[in-house]
Amino acid sequence: MIDTKRQRALARAQKLRERIEEYLESRKIIHTGFDVVEDIEVRKRRIMEELGGTEEQWNDWHWQLANRIRDVDTLTRLIELEEQDLADITRVGKHHRWAVSPYYLSLADFSDRFGPIKLQAIPLIAELTVPGGTLDPMAEEYTSPAPAITRRYPDRLIILASNICPVYCRHCQRRRLIGQRDHHTDWRQIEESIKYIRDNPEIRDVLITGGDPLTREDEDIERMLSALRKIDHVEIIRIGTRTPITMPQRITPELVSMLAKYHPLYLNTQFNHPREITPDSAKACNMLADAGIPLGNQMVLLNGINARCSVVKALNQELLKIRVRPYYIFHAKEIKGTIHFVTSVDKGIEIMEFLRGYTSGLAIPCYIINAPNGLGKTPILPQYVLSRGPDFITIRTWENKVVRYPNRREVDIRQF
């Protein structure tokens, strides 16, 4: 009997192994930043030399922010691009602002014309030629009851603290706010926002985002956090930032020590591809996690960048290794100038099917569509409930096995 059970277990294990073999083979060519660290270092040295920077300056986030590459002349000194690419970047730049930190540019393999880093940071002519989308698909301008606030839900809201980012991502949902001038939200507006929160006791959760709020100085950030912490009904404060990916030098011991004073504090970031997981970004995330700050990842599903099952699975598993929990997969929004990044909803569902059962639950985020006109996040799931009866449901397992499962009426415990 024991041998029979063991034989069945071994046969089952073999089938499970066969199910994952294709992914294991594809995983060999999905590189993280750790895998190509020597190539990144070569590009880093070239960029430092051209910009006249030292190692000390490279590790200073102020230098990174001040030396963002934002014009074609500087870009051509740093990387090799075809003439048509340069003409396209110039043309797009007249309509849509772009900028990329020296650090993030060093991650880009420009021998790959459509590499995942390049596509996120450097304009494509598709921004002008692919029609569709609006500038404000979530109707944020109509869901702003106070300056710098977006409110779409009963108990939580957003404060937009800045329009500045280390990288102006080509898929950015708020590109309408970038403009042609960098500016932080002024303190009068921040204070009006905080007053609104103070005057509305149902608000228990505040997200500080932007732009990127961590482009502000530590003192500015602490001023906001301190004011929010003095409001009794604010239970949770969250920060939305991409600096651990685009400018990890910003995550300093001083910043982390300050943030740790304002728990419960959560930080959500946006890794979109395994290439973005480097020793530097891992160090930044580990510093935050060591300070007790829970980290979540909000990946955007992007055509040509990460819209492959194996890439998303690899990304999520690598994120867990640096203590970042996959939180959301956002379906790319219908924003003017970004439509070439939008996938079908079917692709997102396919990815969710690929994750469930094939990786740990910790590595499975929630796939979300932001309903148009500020109607909020809507979770999208594969269909696992196939039918219902009076006392049962029929479900489909992750292996596509159909099972009848009891759907019991609750017992009145108070009768016992």
303-322 residue pLDDT tens: 999 999 999 999 999 999 99
Mean pLDDT taken over the chain: 95
pTM to 2 decimal places: 0.94
Mean pLDDT of 52-72: 97
pLDDT tier for residue 1 given thresholds of 50, 70 and 90: low
Which domains occur in the chain, in start order? 37-129 (no CATH), 140-379 (3.20.20.70), 385-415 (no CATH)
Mean pLDDT of 315-333: 97
Residue 238 contacts residue 266 (beta carbons within 8 Å): yes
Rounded to a whole number, what is the distance in angstroms from the first to the last CA of the chain? 41
DSSP H helical segments within 176-247, as ranges?
187-199, 218-229, 243-246
Mean pLDDT of 202-225: 97
Q: What is the pLDDT of residue 225?
A: 98
Cα four-point dihedral sign 177, 180, 185, 189: negative
Which of 15-24, 133-142, 163-172, 299-308 has the weakest average pLDDT?
133-142
36 pLDDT above the threshold of 70: yes
